[in-house]
């Protein structure tokens, strides 16, 4: 599968679009994001574009912006980060890498809509209960607010068994890519194929949208999830890293 630089950049833009931070500001081309809570992505600088002429000066501006709020200073980089020298500069300034995520790609195909999956254009209460119940407490309040800001076109998927939603997923389309978010399965209903069911429904929906790629980002250490996505035909195409001072 040939994944080009342009594919990686468009997929990263789609991921930034799909999970909108509560507060943003453009700093020399970078997107400064702040939301509070435990989300790294919604509280970090997206480094897709850089238009500055003084890299250290731009980093100092970012630091001042976070410090004014009393928040940790955090950058997010990926394979096509601008400028390419940013990771080395961050190391020199005392930053350390924290969590890494893998961006996985697949060409969407219409595999048919599973009969046990419900699709809606918003996060309904049962869907929220499952998704928010399976993430860390530090992320719940903020993620609940972000769910109200999801752009369109988008769709929310819930696998229903015995009259209950037991697994969730979200798909957001932008920049020619369909991004997968909010994949969660209720703790007492795992290993029953529910995650695969919602992902099959999501891919079928995405295949009907104007998207060349379907993609997701998964924590690099989450080997069970990576194995599931590989079985579904996804391949690794980029690596994201978070840097904390």
Q: Please tell me the predicted confidence (pLDDT) of residue 36.
A: 94
Q: Please tell me the predicted confidence (pLDDT) of residue 109.
A: 86
Correct CATH for 108-211 of 3.30.70.60, 3.40.630.30, 3.20.10.10, 3.40.50.10860: 3.40.630.30
β-strand 235-244 against 45-46: which pairing, if any?
A: unpaired
Across residues 184-204, what is the average pLDDT? 90
Query: What's the mean per-residue pLDDT of the chain?
Result: 95
Extended beta strands in the chain, E state: 23-27, 30-34, 45-46, 74-77, 96-106, 117-120, 154-161, 164-174, 177-185, 213-219, 235-244
Across residues 45-58, what is the average pLDDT? 98
Q: Please tell me the predicted confidence (pLDDT) of residue 111.
A: 84
Q: CATH 3.40.630.30 region(s) of the chain?
A: 108-211
**Residue 212 confidence class, pLDDT cut points 50, 70, 90:** confident
- Residue 201, pLDDT > 90, answer yes
Across residues 93-114, what is the average pLDDT? 93
* Digit-coded pLDDT (tens) for 124-142: 999 999 999 999 999 999 9
Q: Please tell me the predicted confidence (pLDDT) of residue 187.
A: 80
Across residues 91-112, what is the average pLDDT? 93
Q: Please tell me the predicted confidence (pLDDT) of residue 56.
A: 98
The residues, any chain, with a CB within 8 Å of residue 231's CB and separated by 6 or more, are none
**Residue 199 confidence class, pLDDT cut points 50, 70, 90:** very high
- Residue 101, pLDDT > 90, answer yes
């Amino acid at each position: 599968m040939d994944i080009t630089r342009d594919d990686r950049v468009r997929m990263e833009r789609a991921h930034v679009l799909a999970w909108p931070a509560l507060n943003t500001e453009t700093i020399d081309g970078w997107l400064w994001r702040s939301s509070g809570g435990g989300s790294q992505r919604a509280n970090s600088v997206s480094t897709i574009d850089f238009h500055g002429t003084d890299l250290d000066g731009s980093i100092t501006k970012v630091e001042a912006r976070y410090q004014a709020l009393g928040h940790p200073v955090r950058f997010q980089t990926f394979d096509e980060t601008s400028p390419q020298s940013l990771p080395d500069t961050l190391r020199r300034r005392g930053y350390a890498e924290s969590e890494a995520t893998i961006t996985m790609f697949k060409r969407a195909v219409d595999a048919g809509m599973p009969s046990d999956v419900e699709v809606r254009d918003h996060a309904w209460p049962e869907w929220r209960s499952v998704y928010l119940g399976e993430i860390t407490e530090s992320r719940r309040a903020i993620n609940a607010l972000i769910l109200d800001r999801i752009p369109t076109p988008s769709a929310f998927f819930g696998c229903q068994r015995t009259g209950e939603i037991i697994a969730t997923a979200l798909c957001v389309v932008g920049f020619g890519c369909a991004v997968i978010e909010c994949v969660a399965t209720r703790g007492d209903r795992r290993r029953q194929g529910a995650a695969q069911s919602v992902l099959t429904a999501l891919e079928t929906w995405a295949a009907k949208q104007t998207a060349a790629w379907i993609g997701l980002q998964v924590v690099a250490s989450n080997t069970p999830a990576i194995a599931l996505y590989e079985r579904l035909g996804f391949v690794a195409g980029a690596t994201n890293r978070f840097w904390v001072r």
